[in-house]
Amino acid sequence: MPLTQKANSNSQVKALTPVITIEQIDYVVLATMITTTDVKNLKAEDAIMDASHLRDQLVSAIDMMILGI
């Protein structure tokens, strides 16, 4: 899911836009823009953080998009 700086976001549906902090800057996760990519496009050196602590929020955002709950 892509990110944008929180200051650039005007989302009114907070369940669809969890906030993540990277190097003291707040970003909004744009769950509505979720996409797929081939694993060969993912490189360990490109990873900037582990967001596993946001798992429940990210799954909830996907549930909201698909199921409306």
Class of domain 3-67: mainly beta
pLDDT at 24: 92
pLDDT at 33: 87
pLDDT tens digits, 49-62: 888 988 998 899 88
pLDDT at 67: 87
Contacts by 21-29 with C-beta closer than 8 Å and gap 24+? 22/48, 22/49, 27/3, 28/3, 28/4, 29/1, 29/2, 29/3, 29/54, 29/57, 29/58, 29/61
Q: Domain residues of the chain, as ranges?
A: 3-67
Which is higher by pLDDT, 47 or 41?
A: 41
User: Encoding tokens for residue 56?
Assistant: 């429940």
